[in-house]
Copies of this chain bind each other. A is one copy, B any other.
Amino acid sequence: MSDPAERAAALDEKDELRPVREKFVLDDTVYLDGNSLGALPGHVPARVADVITREWGELRIRSWEESGWWTAPERVGDRIAPLLGAAPGQVVAGDSTSVNVFKAVVGAVRMAGAGRDEILADEASFPTDGYIAESAARMTGCTLRALPAARIPVEAGPRTALALVNHVDYRTGRLNDLPAVTAALHDAGALAVWDLCHSAGALPVRLDAHGVDLAVGCTYKYLNGGPGAPAYLYVREELQARFDSPLPGWNSHAVPFGMDPAYAPADGIIRGRVGTPDILSMLALEAALDVWDGVSVEAVRAKSLALGDFFLECVDAYVPEGRVRCVTPREHPQRGSQIALACADAGTVMTELIRRGVVGDFRHPDVLRFGFTPLYTSFADVARAARVLGEVVG
């Protein structure tokens, strides 16, 4: 192709998301690890400082009401909802992804019809999903069967309570077919539980449109909420009255300050809450979500795919043939927002890339992972990453 650096400059010039990049704290590093920890939005430190010094330090206990702390989990959930294609009142923020997987899987088993005692799980999932699904199966008298995501529509049957599926595979970056898998599960009378960790904020999810039943995801990747920021749980509105949480903490009670020794769940998505929400992290996340104001997920998706295509072109131009092998599908409908390259000595190669200012990550055993966050990744970043990769493996 023509000179990648020139091409990159032209692509950046016409990038409509370019002004959003200014909202982030970046440096000379090419940061392609936003699919692990998103970069810091520049306005977040001041917001957190205010939460700490004024809301905690001065108002103290009054902030639970006066600063809106108490209602933050559902308020932040409603801020995340549009990125998931979800109407308000169906997403609640809090706890870790693992804890939310537990709520979602147990909740789905309890909603499933009689005789449905089998949980299917995408075998390529990030391991915590499988570990937690196994625990949920053990504690609900179900059996867990792990299989490739593509087999789930075929294998779901009359005993299937639910399938837990990754929207985007954390290792390969493959995008699973959410509409088709959800529809097939519904045809089998089973529920669809999706893990959106690697898709939300990178591509349109459309939970409501596709009738997804439950979903979970983290907020520290493409949502830039900060290290270990609270995860979220989605429960489709029609199912909320039947959502029977295995973690019925006092924050999910209908009258939390009634101090009733008998549990009675709140209406709506609030029943997905558990204990006291982690306010510093929750409000850092809330602030971080401001960068989405005026940004459409469709524009993000278009740029994400363009970044991936351009990266692959640059890899072809810079990296000696045969030295790396792309394990991410090249077809747009099957691709998330990362490119994964299999490579001998991938661990050593990534260490050297990082030393030279190109930050991706290594996933056992042989994968170099490059994540594109369209809000701040530029085409120049991508060209430089491929060039340095070529130098390192050349």
Chain A 343-357, CB within 8 Å of chain B: the 1/0 string? 000000000001000
Interface stretch, picked from A84-92, A94-102, A317-325, A331-339, is A94-102
In the complex, chain B residues whose CB is within 8 Å of the CB of A4: none
Contact of A281 among B128, B130, B231, B281 (CB under 8 A): B281
A329, CB-defined interface residue at 8 Å? no
Q: Does A143 interact with chain B (Cβ within 8 Å)?
A: no
Interface pair B45/A60, CB less than 8 Å apart: no
Question: Known contacts being A60-B359, A228-B276, A248-B135, is A127 close to B261, with CB within 8 Å?
Answer: yes
Q: How far is the CB of A116 from chain B (nearest CB, A)?
A: 18
* A188 located at the interface, meaning its Cβ lies under 8 Å from any Cβ of chain B in the complex: no
Q: Does A61 contact B49, Cβ atoms closer than 8 Å?
A: no
Residue of B nearest to A53 (CB): B45
From A106, A218, A245, A282, residue with most partner B Cβ within 10 Å:
A282
B250 touches A52 (CB 8 A): no
Q: Does A229 reach chain B (CB closer than 8 Å)?
A: yes
For the complex, count residues of A whose C-beta is within 8 A of B.
81
What is the distance, in angstroms, from A295's C-beta to the closest C-beta of chain B? Answer: 21
B250 in contact with A27 (CB, 8 Å): no
Residues of chain B lying within 8 A (CB to CB) of residue A171? 259
**Least CB distance, A43 to chain B, in whole angstroms:** 11
Residue of B126, B228, B249, B258 near A131 (CB, 8 A) is: B249
A218–chain B nearest beta-carbon distance, Å: 7
User: Given the complex of chains A and B, what is the CA–CA distance between A33 and B61 in angstroms?
Assistant: 7
Contact B99 A229 (CB under 8 A): no
Q: Does A304 contact B (CB under 8 A)?
A: no
A243 to chain B, nearest CB (A): 13
8 Å CB contact of A98 from B134, B274, B281: B274
A276 touches B139 (CB 8 A): no
A134 to B89, CA, bound (A): 27
Nearest residue, chain B, Cβ from A279? B227
The answer to whether the Cβ of A234 comes within 8 Å of any Cβ in the partner chain is no
Given contacts A60-B39, A226-B52, contact A131 B253 (CB under 8 A): yes
Q: Are B57 and A126 in contact (CB-based, < 8 A)?
A: no
Contact of A61 among B37, B140, B228 (CB under 8 A): B37
Tell yes or no: A40 within 8 A of B by CB. Answer: yes
Separation in Å of the A92 CB from the closest CB of chain B? Answer: 14
Is A132 an interface residue, CB under 8 A from the partner? yes
Given contacts A95-B275, A132-B249, A228-B279, 4 further A-B contacts (CB under 8 A): A37-B64, A64-B227, A95-B99, A98-B247
**Sample of 14 A–B contacts (CB below 8 Å):** A27-B58, A40-B56, A40-B57, A45-B57, A56-B227, A69-B227, A96-B278, A126-B250, A131-B250, A134-B248, A135-B245, A226-B280, A228-B280, A280-B284
The 4 closest A-B pairs by CB, nearest first: A96-B275, A98-B249, A98-B275, A227-B279
